[in-house]
Amino acid sequence: MDGPPGITITSQECPGPPRASRSVMAEAVSISVEPRDPAKNKGTGSRVSRKLRAAGRIPAILYGHKQANIPLSISHEDVWTLVKKGNHLAQLRIGNTTEMALIRNVQWDHLGRDIIHLDFYRVSAHERIKTEVSVVLHGIPEGVAEGGVLDQPVHSITVSCEATAIPASIKVEVGHLQLNQVLHAKDITLPTGVALEVDPDTVLAHIVSKQAVAEPTGTEGAVTQPEIIGRKEKKEEV
């Protein structure tokens, strides 16, 4: 297996204890949402959204199941409750009706401080869906004590499961990993009813050798110019 330059990583099957992976099912959070005023440009558009944000509400949209799209607005506090809990599922109370929805997309501002828009996708309780779930590594690998570095190339994986059984995260124990050992997606145990939707050979974690700190060399400061694309070198006159 190829690794970073100068480091040879040998792919090995991980011996030792079975890969303990835990996951906590996220419960649907019930939040109150308001449909946007259809009198004002059908309740949509950047101008309406800007005014909502200024009033402390976050614009959102509910779609899916071949039903009409509903532009919504949610209070700032409710959105942060959802996000902090890492919930994928939400029970939206729109007037007298309640709809179960999956958070499909979250738009952040350029600094990643505030949420500026949410996409909700209608789901039924026992509908099988595909979603991204974060992978959380637990434990300090034995290989790290031997001078290695824990590398996590993938931070989330796609799984399919029932809407009400989405794990909040998949916790993977990596304490047994030795230097140059690799943990694949196929090595982890998923909760009942949850299936992997990525390549089973996807590397979730591996322990690589420490990279040497590059010290400044004597050639520093030597000015070199990049090659110019398409410029022919001048032929030397004889």
Partner 1 sequence: MAMMPKRVKFRKVQKGRIRGNATRGNYVAFGDYGLQALEPIRLSAEAIEAGRMTASRATKGGGKLFIRVFPHKSVTSIPAETRMGKGKGEVEFWAAVIKPGTILYELAGVTEEQARAAFARVAYKMPVNCRFVTRRPTF
> Rounded to an integer, what distance in angstroms lies between the CA atom of residue 82 and that of residue 86?
6
Q: Which of 104, 160, 178, 187 binds partner 1 (CB under 8 A)?
A: 104
| Separation of alpha carbons 113 and 171, rounded Å | 26
CB of 200 to partner 1, least distance (A): 20
Question: Nearer to partner 1 by C-beta: 43 or 179?
Answer: 179
Strands (E), 8-96: 21-25, 29-35, 57-63, 70-75, 89-94
Buried b (16+ CB within 10 A) or exposed e, 192-215: eebebeeeeebbbbbbbbeeeeee
Site for partner 1 in 195-234 (CB under 8 A): 208, 210-214, 216-217, 219-220, 222, 224-230
Nearer to partner 1 by C-beta: 39 or 212? 212
Which of 152, 164, 189, 202 is close enough to bind partner 1 by CB under 8 A?
A: 152
Q: Between the CA of residue 76 and those of 100, 115, 121, 232, what are the distances in Å?
A: 20, 9, 19, 60
Does position 149 interact with partner 1 (CB under 8 A)? The reply is yes
Contact between 46 and partner 1 per CB under 8 A: no
Are 184 and 199 in contact by the 8 Å Cβ rule? The answer is: no
156 binds partner 1 (CB under 8 A): yes
Question: 43 — alpha (psi -120 to 50), left (phi > 0) or beta?
Answer: left
Residue 43 or 60 with smaller CB distance to partner 1: 60
8 pairs with which residues across the strands?
2
The region of 42-50, 56-64, 68-76, 107-115 touching partner 1 under the rule CB under 8 A is 107-115
3-state secondary structure of 201: coil
CB under 8 A: which stretch of 11-19, 47-55, 150-158, 182-190 binds partner 1? 150-158
Considering only residues 5, 17, 95, 112, which one is a binding residue for partner 1 as defined by CB under 8 A?
Answer: 112
Residues near partner 1, by CB under 8 A: 4, 83, 86, 88, 103-106, 108, 110-112, 131-134, 149-152, 155-156, 208, 210-214, 216-217, 219-220, 222, 224-230
